[in-house]
Amino acid sequence: MTSPKVPLRAAVQSLPAYVPGARAGADLTAHKLSSNENPYPPLEQVRAAVARAASQLNRYPDMFATDLVAALAVKHGVDPAGIVAGCGSVAVLGHVLQAFCDPGDEVVHAWRSFEAYPILVRLQGARSVQVPLDREGRHDLPAMAAAVTDRTRVILVCSPNNPTGPAVRHDELLALLAVVPQDVLVVLDEAYVEFVRQPSAIDSAAVLAAHPNVVLLRTFSKAYGLAALRVGYAVTHQDLARGVRTASTPFGVNHLAQVAALASLEAEAALLERVDAVVAERERLVAGLRGQGWTVPETQANFVWLATGARTLEIAADAADDGLLVRPFAGEGVRISVGEPTANDRVLEVAAGWL
């Protein structure tokens, strides 16, 4: 076939591809620690609810995920009109940018942070303004505030930060909001919030109630263990939510995903016990790595970050040879998800040889 002559947009041609975490082979012998997944499968009652819902696959899902949104409204203490569900929090973020950014507008975010941020921003035709993390892998919020111009429409705050792990403190976020213009949207991406244990954690409900220019992003992929079904949502003020809903993909949350998310909310206490187990393993893993001599940022997520610099790809390849799939960021470091105890034991065993 001859090559097509229809040109792609320049922004699309120049975009880097999103790189997913490595997948285990068919033999499933490797520990997959590359995608920040919950190591535990869904609870039995969640699996049973999905199985029952499978008989309705010939029908379109509820376009507005009405029952799920109602349950989330109760959880967050807001009106259902302030919640927008979507196909994972990354898709919801894409709809937020579609609703508020025009070509040439600016979106300020930390870097390194979630690698989808600059891709989504540039797809919208906006400019990605990247502010370096500090030496501890944390957001430099004063520098991010200083980066705001009259073209800035959105500030993205990833807390805990993916891939380094530290979380923004409540007082730090309030200081940022105090100086950010009211017509700039502040998106607080809390994909890993359930794993946060620091005493000064963000009170996002209080932040949302006091600041009408804030959007919270949450997901069922991590703590709730539903990564395969892609359910995320935004919580914000009703007027902002209306715009995000307008930009959203119709029927964006499939029926099985809605059912699984609802069943997971009903079983939240049991699921959060699993989160506690992951946090305990995280602390053990961090202590073990630091004991070996690694400098590990103060992670509040379900992963750890090792700054491996120029050796990153070599170390990731060595890890794969040793049965560990990790997520390399070339020239910078590796992110290692917290897995089952046996997987974390293997990380400590292998990482000692990387030093």
* Structural contact between residues 125 and 147, judged by C-beta atoms closer than 8 angstroms: no
**249, 266, 283: which is the final residue of a domain?**
266
pLDDT at residue 25, rounded to an integer: 59
Please give the order of strands across the beta sheet that includes 152-158: 83-86, 232-235, 214-219, 185-189, 152-158, 106-111, 127-132
User: How many alpha carbons fall within 13 Å on the CB side of residue 323?
Assistant: 14
In a domain, 283, yes or no: yes
Q: 86 and 28, same structural domain?
A: no
Q: What is the pLDDT of residue 5?
A: 80
pLDDT at position 27: 53
pLDDT for residue 14: 78
**Amino acid residing at 53:** A
Please indicate, yes or no, whether residues 286 and 301 belong to a single structural domain of this protein: yes
Domain co-membership, 24 together with 79 = no
Write out the residue range of the structural domain in which residue 285 sits.
10-32+269-351
Six token digits for residue 105: 């507008």
- Asked if residue 210 is part of any domain, the answer here is yes
- 10-residue mean pLDDT series, the chain (355 residues): 78 75 66 95 94 95 97 97 97 98 97 97 96 97 98 98 98 98 98 97 96 98 96 98 96 96 95 96 98 98 98 97 96 98 97 94
Rounded distance between C-alpha atoms, residue 207 and residue 188, angstroms? 10
pLDDT value for 30: 87
Residue with tokens 């017509």: 183
Q: Decide if 60 contacts 251 (C-beta within 8 A).
A: yes
- Regarding whether 344 and 229 lie in a shared domain, the answer is no
**pLDDT at position 4:** 79
Percentages of the chain per state (helix, strand, coil), in multiples of 5: 40, 15, 40
Residue 72: CATH number of its domain: 3.40.640.10
Query: pTM of the full predicted structure?
Result: 0.94
